[in-house]
């Protein structure tokens, strides 16, 4: 199946900016941004981020406050702090052999950096890759990672796969099947996540916020702190 998949990928690959680099810092930034945010939203923010902070040293020198403000709109703001902490560790000690030692880097992100930046023979398995593996019953080598991402994201969809467009359909035991909808993420509108986002936006803009519960949660995550005058502010350093 690998040959069919890779030939399909040659003419169907999505044009994504992080596929044009093997810089581990750039790959780390892209993977952290992509953890819980859609690709189309990430692309312009990734490019803007690298324009502002093009390497580990540049981001490590930035204050947490600047990083949080730049992250606004990508959601799950704790990722910004974890990325910043990871980069500061890298700037001080270099890249660890075990990438999961870095804040916010789990097994999948470590495998992605290892594959795309460090030449390690490991297949990063995300939701899309796992879906293709389970439906085809096939094993794929690390060289198929990007092709599997694209197949799962554009053809082998979660509920109604486009089997007629799939290069693996002839040998796929799941061809033509339909699937129950996966459990959806809870609504953002009216949720505590939205309250946290609004509270952080207010603090970043220097406005008062009276949502004590949301502010306390942000403080626990290191996204805000108490300034010298007792006001809630973004972390300064």
What local confidence, expressed as pLDDT, does residue 148 receive? 98
What local confidence, expressed as pLDDT, does residue 24 receive? 98
What local confidence, expressed as pLDDT, does residue 34 receive? 96
What is the reported pTM?
0.88
Enumerate the β-bridge partners of residue 232. Answer: 226
- Locate the DSSP E strands across the chain: 225-226, 232-233
Our CA dihedral for 157, 163, 168, 173, rounded to 10 degrees, sits at 90
The predicted model gives 35-46 an average pLDDT of 95
In terms of Cβ atoms closer than 10 Å to its own Cβ (0-12, 13-18, 19+), residue 87 is: buried
Would the pLDDT of 183 be above 70? Answer: no
When the pLDDT of each residue in the chain is averaged and rounded to a whole number, the result is 94
State how far the Cα of 163 lies from the Cα of 154, in Å rounded to an integer.
Answer: 11
Inter-CA distances, 29 with 143, 175, 189, 237, Å? 21, 36, 27, 20
Kindly list the structural domains of the chain, giving each domain's residue range(s) and its CATH number in brackets, ordered by start. 23-116 (1.10.340.30), 192-233 (no CATH)
Banded pLDDT at 229 (limits 50, 70, 90): confident
Q: Picking from 61-70, 78-87, 191-200, which range would have the lowest pLDDT averaged per residue?
A: 191-200
Would the pLDDT of 187 be above 70? Answer: yes
What local confidence, expressed as pLDDT, does residue 166 receive? 98
What local confidence, expressed as pLDDT, does residue 227 receive? 82
The predicted model gives 70-79 an average pLDDT of 93
Give me 217's structure tokens.
Answer: 């949660």
State how far the Cα of 13 lies from the Cα of 23, in Å rounded to an integer.
Answer: 20
Contact between 181 and 159 under an 8 Å Cβ cutoff? The reply is: yes
| Residues acting as catalytic residues | 31
Banded pLDDT at 186 (limits 50, 70, 90): low
In the chain, % of residues over pLDDT 70: 97
What local confidence, expressed as pLDDT, does residue 123 receive? 98
Q: Dump pLDDT digits (tens) for 106-150.
A: 999 999 999 999 999 999 999 999 999 999 999 999 999 999 999
State how far the Cα of 68 lies from the Cα of 173, in Å rounded to an integer.
Answer: 46
Angle at 33 between CA 112 and CA 15, to 5 degrees: 70
Would the pLDDT of 228 be above 90? Answer: no
Banded pLDDT at 15 (limits 50, 70, 90): very high
CA 38 to centroid of chain Cα atoms: 9
What local confidence, expressed as pLDDT, does residue 193 receive? 83
């Amino acid at each position: 199946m690998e040959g069919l998949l890779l030939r399909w990928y040659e003419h169907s690959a999505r044009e994504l900016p992080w596929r044009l680099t093997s810089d581990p810092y750039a790959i780390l930034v892209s993977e952290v941004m992509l953890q819980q945010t859609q690709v189309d939203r990430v692309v312009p923010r990734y490019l803007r981020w690298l324009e502002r902070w093009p390497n580990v040293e540049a981001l490590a020198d930035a204050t947490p406050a600047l990083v949080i403000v730049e992250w606004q709109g990508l959601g799950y703001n704790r990722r910004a702090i974890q990325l910043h902490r990871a980069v500061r560790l890298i700037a001080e000690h270099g890249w660890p052999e075990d990438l999961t030692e870095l804040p916010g880097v789990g097994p999948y992100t470590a495998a992605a950096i290892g594959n795309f930046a460090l030449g390690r023979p490991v297949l990063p398995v995300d939701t899309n890759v796992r879906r293709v593996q389970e439906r085809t019953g096939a094993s794929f080598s690390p060289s198929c990672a990007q092709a599997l991402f694209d197949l799962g994201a554009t053809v082998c969809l979660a509920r109604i796969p486009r089997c007629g467009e799939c290069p693996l359909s002839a040998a796929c035991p799941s061809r033509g099947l339909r699937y129950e909808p996966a459990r959806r993420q809870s609504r953002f509108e009216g949720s505590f996540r939205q309250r946290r986002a609004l509270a952080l936006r207010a603090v970043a803009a220097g406005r008062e916020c009276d949502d004590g519960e949301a502010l306390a949660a942000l403080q626990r995550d290191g996204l805000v702190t108490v300034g010298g005058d007792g006001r809630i502010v973004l972390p300064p350093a």
